[in-house]
Structure 1
Amino acid sequence: MKNQIVTATQERITIRHVAQDAGVSVAAVSKVLRNAYGVSEVLRSKVEASIEKLNYRPSVAARGMRGRTYTVGILVIELSNPFLAGVIESANTMLSDNGYKSLIGIGRSASPIEASMIESMIDNRMDGVLIIAPRISGKVLERYARQIPIAVIAHHEPHAQTYDTVNSDDRKGAALAVEVAVKQGYRDIAMLGYDFLDSPSTVVALQREMGYVAAMKQAGLESRIIRLPPVAENREAAIRDFLVTTDRPRAVFVWSDLDAVPLINAARTSGIRVPEDLAIIGYDNSPMAAIPLVGLTSVDQNAVQLGRTASEVLMGRIDGRQEARHLLIEPHVELRGST
């Protein structure tokens, strides 16, 4: 019997394998999975031990047969980014209005943690997962999406078939930033990005770099990308070093307000006038950017629409839609005193 189970693990583990390993009926395993009334703790412990041992993941079809839990997991890269709060609030409101409860997990910019969180959401029989700015690859997402409906924000993979994506049109947003700078009369326009290291090619910063380079070429200008350390590292020293370089550009488009706000603060505290000495354009239009003392010109990617739209497409997946949807939200630029 045990040999049969070992062989089966090379294929997809089913509820029958779990029942066989636990020494109970398939019906008993089913009761545990759907949290049925009257299941003893002894039976539950035995079945859950086999589920963990065999790494069993219920299929989407099987989950549908058990009925919905009306819970959705929201997995976010971090909570320190103020822009994400608006996305989460909008998504949660849309889900709540449609009878769903949301539980939030934090991936902490680490692929293993994100994978573990998604597996926990599957194990807890949630109806779907909304993921914001994942570090895990599209290939891994494809695998999980065969087990649970998934919609992803800030992840550019337009050819994915098993899950949906909703993004700001990041290339266009970067192009709009360049257009604003050019219209203001700037010609020496650099982009402040970061070292991607092992970041997947789906990250928004890469799309913004592509948009920046294309827009600079269209304007007949030479592009220049200056890279800060990776996002997980402290970048204050690198920002100060950028400000004192002898070939500092006249204007800079920053990949995100996460670095644009500290940059504008560091410039002003070191006596560099903004925009007289250095014009700065950010991306996200985060709440900090709009504070009058900051006054950062920034590309707005519409947090409310991102969250609402992603929730809508996720609920469509939960309702049984199988064809993939990959949507782009139109950005615009909010002009303030930094340009």
Structure 2
Amino acid sequence: MATKKKTERVTIRTVAEDAGVSVAAVSKVLRSAYGVSDALRAKVQASMAKLGYRPLAAARGMRGQTYTLGVLLSDISNPFFSDIMAGINAALERTEYQPLIGVSQSASSIELELIDAMQDRQMDGLILVAPRMKAADLDTVATRIPSVLIGHHLPGATLFDTVNDNDVLGANLVVKHLAGVGHRNIVFLSLQMPALDDVLITTQREIGYTTAMAECGLARYTQIVRADQTAREARTLARHLLQSRQRPEAIFCWTDFIALEVLSVATELGLSVPGDVAIVGYDNTRYCDMAQNSLTSVDQSGQLLGLQAARLLIERIKGREKAEHLVLTPRLVARSSSLKVATSVPGPAAA
């Protein structure tokens, strides 16, 4: 039986021969080197397209850059992360950079393994979304490769940039909205974490919730309950809260992903939302606006977070060393899960 002949790989030399130019000329076009004429660039690019030439990432890395960026997500079940990716893609649309995604399953050990793999593949920079690793590990990573963090409050960091929502303000807006429509017994459903650290978005939101409850004269009703970031855990805890003798008047969830699970359980139990219990989420993902959900939520503009992170990362790759820490201003979008008539409540100026 005849064996199929292996297709020969198209190399930079193949392109040079087809275009009738030197290997050095093709290299200059690939590197976007200074002084390359439009005619030469067009000739080389035409040969690359005809031959189907794709430069190896490793070879590009040897010439200085691979034009790939690592994006590390803590999980892929939260729809908010797709908003962040949309912003990153929008920022990179007119650049040579391409994002490659890794998912850590919210485990710091997996984060470090993925970062090592990304660095081995000579990625030019990293965007870390809600990382779980320790501050010392973050510093170590940032000394090895340009890095930007989303959803991690470290305003004093000097080795990397951060882009965050003002999570304290966002939680404050929720409590004052719920108190304003008459609710007193407001429970905050937060995320179960091994250590409560002020850098975490959930801890920041707990601070905002607790402060606002006190400011509204509702300190005695303050209650924070925590669950793992899984639909099963969220539903179990929601059922416990909604079937308790002291059922809360309102449940404020740290993310829409969890709030939608609570909304589902309330519907299963035959409860009226917001008549029997008001439910509020955080992130204002696309599912909030669906008629069957109509979920009140805090809009922290995931697309803008992603866009700003990508912009800052490219600036770092190009040589900026001074750290920047952006804080975006959230707004509350009230829908029928807490209010009969949809309204939008803006926050004060950005921090």
Matches within 5 A, 1:258-277: 258-277=257-276
2:226 match: 228
- What amino acid maps onto 2:186 in structure 1? I
Matches within 5 A, 1:283-322: 283-322=282-321
Q: Distance in 2 between matches of 1:297 and 1:214?
A: 21
Is the Cα–Cα contact under 8 Å of residues 231 and 261 in structure 2 kept in the other structure?
no
Residue 139 (structure 1) aligned with residue 145 (structure 2):
no
Question: Structure 1: which 4+ aligned runs deviate by more than 6 Å?
Answer: none
Structure-2 change in CA distance of 1:325 and 1:281 (3 Å):
same
Matches within 5 A, 1:148-297: 148-198=145-195, 200-222=197-219, 223-231=221-229, 234-235=232-233, 236-297=235-296
Q: Cα deviation per residue 1:187-218 (whole Å; 9 max; x = unaligned)?
A: 22221113222465422111100011111111
Q: What's the secondary structure of 1:151's corresponding residue? A: strand
- What amino acid maps onto 1:307 in structure 2? G
Structure-2 change in CA distance of 1:201 and 1:230 (3 Å):
farther
Q: Distance in 1 between matches of 2:232 and 2:222?
A: 22
Q: What's the secondary structure of 2:136's corresponding residue? A: helix
Q: Distance in 2 between matches of 1:323 and 1:303?
A: 24
Q: Cα deviation per residue 1:89-110 (whole Å; 9 max; x = unaligned)?
A: 2102212322211111111111
Tell me the CA shift for residue 232 of structure 1. 5.2
Q: Distance in 2 between matches of 1:215 and 1:299?
A: 15
Residue 103 (structure 1) aligned with residue 103 (structure 2):
no
Tell me the CA shift for residue 172 of structure 1. 0.6
Is the Cα–Cα contact under 8 Å of residues 177 and 333 in structure 1 kept in the other structure?
yes
- What amino acid maps onto 1:275 in structure 2? P
Normalising by structure 2, report the TM-score: 0.75
Identity %, equivalent residues: 38
Q: Distance in 1 between matches of 2:218 and 2:89?
A: 43
Q: Distance in 2 between matches of 1:195 and 1:77?
A: 14
Is the Cα–Cα contact under 8 Å of residues 76 and 107 in structure 1 kept in the other structure?
yes
1:57 match: none
- What amino acid maps onto 1:317 in structure 2? R
- Among 114, 118, 122, which residue is 2:119 paired with? 122
- What amino acid maps onto 1:237 in structure 2? T
Q: Distance in 1 between matches of 2:156 and 2:92?
A: 26
Is the Cα–Cα contact under 8 Å of residues 241 and 248 in structure 2 kept in the other structure?
no
Is the Cα–Cα contact under 8 Å of residues 300 and 334 in structure 1 kept in the other structure?
yes
Structure-2 change in CA distance of 1:201 and 1:137 (3 Å):
farther
> Greater Rg, structure 1 or structure 2?
2
Tell me the CA shift for residue 150 of structure 1. 0.2
Matches within 5 A, 1:76-87: 76-87=73-84
Residue 337 (structure 1) aligned with residue 336 (structure 2):
yes
Q: What's the secondary structure of 1:280's corresponding residue? A: strand
Q: Distance in 2 between matches of 1:71 and 1:64?
A: 10
Is the Cα–Cα contact under 8 Å of residues 136 and 200 in structure 1 kept in the other structure?
no
Structure-2 change in CA distance of 1:69 and 1:199 (3 Å):
farther
Q: What's the secondary structure of 1:333's corresponding residue? A: strand
Tell me the CA shift for residue 163 of structure 1. 0.6
Is the Cα–Cα contact under 8 Å of residues 193 and 225 in structure 1 kept in the other structure?
no
Q: Distance in 1 between matches of 2:196 and 2:248?
A: 27
Q: Distance in 2 between matches of 1:195 and 1:74?
A: 24
Which 5+ residue runs of structure 1 have no aligned equivalent?
1-62
Normalising by structure 1, report the TM-score: 0.78
Is the Cα–Cα contact under 8 Å of residues 164 and 325 in structure 1 kept in the other structure?
yes
